[in-house]
Amino acid sequence: GLLTPTEALAGFSDPIVLIIAGLFVVGGGLFQTGVADAMGYWLSKIAGNNPLILLVTIMGAVAVLSAFMTSTGAVAIFLPVVVNMAWRAKISPSKLLLPLAYGSLIGGMLTLIGTPPNIVASNQLTIHGLPPFGFFTFTPVGLFMLAIGIGFMALFGRRLLPEREQRATGQVRPPNEAAEAPTSQELLNAYALPGKLFRMRVRSTSPLIGATLAEAELNTRYQITVLELQTWPEREGLPLPAVPVAPQTVIEAHTILHVRGAPQDVARLAREQDFGILPDTSNDAQLLSKEIGIAEALLTPRSRLINHTLKQVHFRDKYGVTVLGIQRLGTPLTENLGDTTLRFGDTLLVQGPWEKIHLLREENRDFVVVGESREMLEAQRTYERAPIAIAVMLGMLLLMVFDVMEGVTAVLLAAAAMILSGCLTVEDAHRSMNWESVILMAGMLPLATALQNTGGITFIAELLSASLGSWGPLAILAGLFVLTSTFSLFISNTATTVVMAPIAYQAATALGVAPQALIMAVAMAASTCFASPIGSSSNTLVLGPGGYRFEDYVRIGLPLQLLMLLGALLLLPLLFPF
């Protein structure tokens, strides 16, 4: 009885929710046309190999991108590029990935659309009849915070960053730099696969001749996974034609099977089914043909595979590739891969036709493909539409900056333009949408209404004023910043802002001061969840590839959060006088 049905559902039609949903589509257009990828490769060329310059450049570049798209999306784009840059500079990826995540979070402070908390905070002013924050109102504060963040990481934070010996997952091969990327053999070594890949030849006397792969049940009976089939050439010296690996594929005499399995299981299969084991190649990577390749795919926070096994999702049938290995927090998993429950941050080493791996990259809701071939990169994206995507984004920004129309109208027009111009399809737009965030926002807005109706917000604001009010509005600002920053370590920063922004306004009213500084403090604090790997998807996304532990985030992130508090106390009263 705290809310009427209309109030409970009002969040789904709120302009804030529509703006956030539209921005996901606009960001998807930038991703799909290769604009964001191009920025990443440009960065990899100009940064050089100096670790300090790399750190500063990465934080600055990802911050700029995060000012116009989600921080998680920005990290997903830069992740493979940054890992490859680390390998080229011969430093551990753990020295660069946490700065990447932090830079993306701070970048959200730069513009109104940089992160949902900014929009929520601005809307709080609109609700009470005050002028909302402008598009670039956040920029001076964001630049100051970015300077603090980069300065801290460059002078002190980089010395606190761990150097993990375990190879972080994720290598990308920028054009003309394939030789600098890890080899296939290095990828296989990282997943503890050497000695588990074999070539077997079906002898003419094998009882399995004429049976399909499904009927042979090699995985069930022998724990053997067939990776690739090739037919024996008519004349010696000719290439071995590849045969599709599918349940209905028929096993023929002299077929070459590339398989993964334990040596004892392979030996048992050869003995019982009259297969020959071909001589060892010089290295395991030679088991891959020119048509067949390997790549790494990192599970995203929104992946539909999380909490499911490969068997449950019919991974091979659905995606046309085989999982060779799984890495979890830098540790390779080698047993019962098909029955292993997948978790966020797991990295899958997949093998299959290059075109299938390319299609896997398009499943950006579920995967970030972080290890690819140069041939794949040359065929990716609809680069010819990149100028259109840039024009659409710039048009949206101009409409918002000069108040030509309401922000929600400008964003929805831009989202529609991205689809109608072919920058992304309707299906791509649907995949680019973070429905969890949209629904969370729509659900949290009525919660704020319920707190308002029951007097909860007024009670908390009065309690805060009574506790810190005697010290003046600066103490209230500090209290709001600390509360918001702490809450954002454990729950969504958007949800935190939805609750804390009204409290900030009520506290300002109780003190009789202008609310802008206090509300801006809440917005800034919501983007400072540096001390936890679970407070932000950006932090979680680098957890596995960087080999980080929880204490790494606390050791580096907590001092940075305190510096951000000091920065807010110094700057906000100057820009937004009480």
Nearest to 141, CA basis, from 427, 512, 519: 519
Confidence at residue 423, expressed as pLDDT on a 0 to 100 scale? 85
Whether 267 shows a pLDDT value over 50: the answer reads yes
Does 132 have pLDDT greater than 80? yes
Above 70 in pLDDT, residue 219? yes
- 34: number of Cβ within 10 Å: 19
Q: What is the DSSP string of 179-225?
A: GGSPPHHHHHHHTT-TTSEEEEEE-TT-TTTT-BHHHHTHHHHH--E
pLDDT, position 379: 44
Average pLDDT of the chain to the nearest whole number: 78
As a whole number, mean pLDDT of residues 15-42 equals 74
User: Percentage of residues in the chain with pLDDT exceeding 70?
Assistant: 76
Cβ neighbours of 176 (radius 10 Å)? 9
Minimum mean pLDDT range among 57-66, 75-84, 323-332: 75-84
pLDDT exceeds 80 at position 129: yes
Query: Which has the higher per-residue pLDDT, 148 or 86?
Result: 148
Tokens of 45: 């060329």
pLDDT, tens digit, 9 for 90 and up, residues 352-381 = 776 677 677 666 667 777 655 444 444 445
Choice among 10-14, 124-128, 144-148, 278-282 with the minimum mean pLDDT: 278-282
Query: Does 136 score more than 60 pLDDT?
Result: yes
DSSP 74-132: HHHHHHHHHHHHHHHTTS-GGGTHHHHHHHHHHHTTSSTTSSHHHHHHHHHHHHTTSPP
pLDDT in tens, 250-259: 888 888 888 8
Least confident residue range of 133-147, 208-222, 553-567: 208-222
Question: 523-553 pLDDT, tens per residue?
Answer: 999 999 999 887 777 887 787 777 788 899 9
Taking only Cα atoms into account, the Rg of the chain, rounded to an integer number of angstroms, comes to: 27
CA angle 37, 177, 301 (to 5 degrees): 40
Do the Cβ atoms of 328 and 374 come closer than 8 Å? no
pLDDT of residue 444: 62
pLDDT tens-digit series, residues 295-326: 778 887 778 888 999 888 888 888 878 888 88
* More confidently predicted of 456 and 26: 26
Mean pLDDT of 10-17: 71
Q: Is 184-287 a domain of CATH 3.40.50.300?
A: no
pLDDT in tens, 399-424: 877 778 877 888 899 999 999 998 88
Q: State how far the alpha carbon of 215 is from the alpha carbons of 90, 207, 228, 250, 431, in Å.
A: 48, 12, 17, 9, 36
> What is the reported pLDDT for 553?
92
Band (pLDDT 50/70/90 cuts) for residue 80 is low
**b/e code 408-443 from CB counts within 10 Å (16+ = b):** bbbbbbbbebbbeeebbeeebbebbbbeebbebbbb
How do residues 457-491 score in pLDDT, each as one tens digit?
566 656 776 677 668 889 989 999 998 998 888 77
The pLDDT of residue 235 is 46
- The more confidently predicted of residues 289 and 546 is 546
Angle, CA of 140, 30 and 108, to the nearest 5°: 25
Delimit the domains of the chain by residue range.
5-168+386-575, 184-287, 292-370
Same CATH fold assignment for domains 184-287 and 292-370: yes
- The residue that leads in pLDDT, 198 or 289, is 198
User: Angle at Cα 367 formed by Cα 370 and Cα 153, nearest 5°?
Assistant: 55
Amino acid 375: pLDDT: 42
Fold held by 292-370:
Alpha-Beta Plaits (3.30.70)
103: pLDDT confidence band, cut at 50, 70 and 90?
very high
Segment 43-67 mean pLDDT: 85
Query: How many residues appear in the chain?
Result: 578
Residue 42, pLDDT above cutoff 50: yes
Quote the pLDDT of residue 218: 86
For the cut 70, the answer to whether the pLDDT of residue 453 exceeds it is no
